[in-house]
Amino acid sequence: MSRIGIDVGGTNTDAVLLEGGKVLAALKRPTTVDVADGVRQALVDLVAAAAGHPALGRIEAVMIGTTHFTNAVVERRHLDRVAALRIGLPANAGLPPFIGWPKDLAAAMRGSIHMVGGGHEYDGRVLVPLDRAAVRREAQRIADSGITSVAITSVFSPLTDECEREAAEIVREVMPAARITLSHEIGRIGLLERENAALLNAGLQGLAQRTTAAFVRALRDSGIAAPLYLTQNDGTIVQGAVAERHPVYCFASGPTNSMRGAAFLSGLTDALVVDVGGTTTDVGCLKGGFPRQANAMVEIGGVRTLFRMPDLISIGLGGGTEIADDGRRIGPGSVGFRLPEKALCFGGDTLTATDMAVAAGRIALGDPGLVRRLPAPLVADGLLHMERMVADVVDRIKTDAAPIPLIAVGGGSFLVPDRMDGVSQVVRIEHHAVANAVGAAIAQVSGEVDRIFSGVERDAALDEARREATRRAIEAGAEAGSVQTLDVEDIPIAYLPGNARRIRVRVVGEIARLAG
């Protein structure tokens, strides 16, 4: 059966039709202000490009990756005001919710702050019984304020989620239409970082619902009757309805899709991937065909968070990067999706990285005659500077001195040098410009558990974690019989009683409708 993969980036919207491991049709279009309009047009053009092919009658799923949610946080737009309900008094009042947030983002999202008694100790013991009356009272205050998005965070909830779930039930009784985010479903151990992730998620749920609905309409208007899935940070997919509840899991789906697509198109499962788009260069590491996950704090839009994210380094370098001051300043500004109208090689008035590559004969775009007047030393020095920028970030992402392959993808991959220290070979692949859309099309459904177990034996804890991860994968749309364990982390925690250990289990499976 066939699949359609779409990746909506800040500069381009890429789409592919895939069947039997082969790319049957592929295209790249400028991203539109209304992302749904761009998706709709990409679908229409893709169907036209594959006109007459039998695969068009066998489309069983459409997978879309989008930077829409990340851009909303970075640009401080389309965000809901959020009520933060923290369970942890009498402790944990010194650093209230939204502490350390950039002022403009806090002004856009901070609705109200509510703290009540409750929570657990690090070993699962009750810290203070949940103050149910206080929860009900604060829920009524939230309802009276008109806020409909609520983020609930309790002390050590990844270990014991009782307080968050019980508080959510009370809030729903008072506010039946509320959108509720529970921090233990989003983040990891670390109260403030986990709470921050929950707050961001709550503020994005309204946008996620509107975006998903717009994508569904785009599919319907294009005449494609297939279920919609959105891609996630770990290279897997979830049903649109699940993504509406947890939009933060889609933050880094663009670079992740590129990495998965690079693995699929090259046949390499362990390699570095450099994805050069129109505005940024993202560098990550493939392990077993999936992006290596970050285990440390991740900053998003100036907010410290700790949840499921790929280990990536991004720099402001892409095909649309502006070159200024006679080549002495490269970026971070970019013409983005306006490259066809702004770059010199297309008759524009802005010197870009693409112009440098065209002048050097690396690629054939626009009218090369328009950039022949560029001084040869300017072009050579500029390209060398950009190559060094890429080599530096590649060196930073590596965790081992041994040379490994590097896969260059993205429309701006002509900026990646053919040789780099610590790289055994630079691999350039067919369809590299749409690797992100390919990665979306091949994605599987995942489930993950990352929590601390205490008071149980190791084998029992691992079994429980696998069962929970499998349950989450099935809820996200995986076929039960196809679920397989992708990786397991088992880290004993010193100085904690009860044989405490942190266990992370990730499983993947085929989409239920496509399995078999």
Domain count across the chain: 4
**Both tokens of residue 503?**
């266990």
Residues 14, 7: contact at Cβ < 8 Å? yes
Give the residue from 413, 437, 461 where a domain finishes: 437
Q: What domain range is 351 assigned to?
A: 315-437
Q: Is residue 325 located within the same domain as residue 414?
A: yes
424 CB neighbour count, 10 Å cutoff: 13
Q: What pLDDT score does 397 carry? A: 93
User: Residue 233 is part of a domain; what is its CATH number?
Assistant: 3.30.420.40
Closest CA to 152 of 172, 123, 127: 172
Q: Is residue 453 located within the same domain as residue 423?
A: no
Lowest mean pLDDT among 199-208, 209-218, 249-258, 394-403: 249-258
Residues 160, 182: contact at Cβ < 8 Å? no
Q: Is residue 198 located within the same domain as residue 141?
A: yes
Beta bridge partners of 16: 5, 26
Query: Cα–Cα distance between 353 and 222 in angstroms, integer?
Result: 35
- What's the angle, vertex CA 132, arms to CA 130 and CA 136, rounded to 5? 140
- Mean pLDDT value of segment 100-115: 95
**Both tokens of residue 27?**
């295209």
Lowest mean pLDDT among 168-182, 341-355, 470-484: 470-484
Q: Is residue 327 located within the same domain as residue 415?
A: yes
Query: Cα–Cα distance between 98 and 154 in angstroms, integer?
Result: 15
- Mean pLDDT value of segment 417-437: 94
- Mean pLDDT value of segment 461-490: 91
Instruction: Name which residue leads in pLDDT, 459 or 188.
Output: 459
Residues 199, 105: contact at Cβ < 8 Å? no
Closest CA to 159 of 127, 193, 123: 123
User: pLDDT above 70 covers what percent of the chain?
Assistant: 98
User: pLDDT above 90 covers what percent of the chain?
Assistant: 60
Q: Is residue 20 located within the same domain as residue 108?
A: no
Beta bridge partners of 508: 446, 484
Beta bridge partners of 113: 84
Asked if the structure places residue 309 within a domain, the reply is no
User: Residue 198 is part of a domain; what is its CATH number?
Assistant: 3.40.50
Q: What pLDDT score does 514 carry? A: 52
Q: What pLDDT score does 146 carry? A: 96
- Reported as a single tens digit per residue, the pLDDT across 296-330 is 778 888 899 888 788 888 888 999 999 987 777 88
Asked if the structure places residue 277 within a domain, the reply is no
pLDDT band with cut points at 50, 70 and 90 for residue 62:
very high
- Mean pLDDT value of segment 130-142: 97
Q: Is residue 247 located within the same domain as residue 202?
A: no
Residue 295 has pLDDT above 60, yes or no: yes
Q: Is residue 146 located within the same domain as residue 201?
A: yes
- Reported as a single tens digit per residue, the pLDDT across 164-190 is 999 999 999 999 999 999 999 988 888
Asked if the structure places residue 275 within a domain, the reply is no
Q: Is residue 68 located within the same domain as residue 80?
A: no
pLDDT band with cut points at 50, 70 and 90 for residue 513:
low
Under DSSP, the state recorded for 61 is: E
Asked if the structure places residue 296 within a domain, the reply is no
Residue 33 has pLDDT above 80, yes or no: no
Give the residue from 417, 437, 457 where a domain finishes: 437
Q: Is residue 321 located within the same domain as residue 340?
A: yes
**Both tokens of residue 3?**
């699949």
pLDDT band with cut points at 50, 70 and 90 for residue 516:
very low
Asked if the structure places residue 241 within a domain, the reply is yes
Query: Cα–Cα distance between 238 and 70 in angstroms, integer?
Result: 17
Amino acid code (one letter) for 37: D
- Write out the E strands in 155-231: 179-182, 228-231
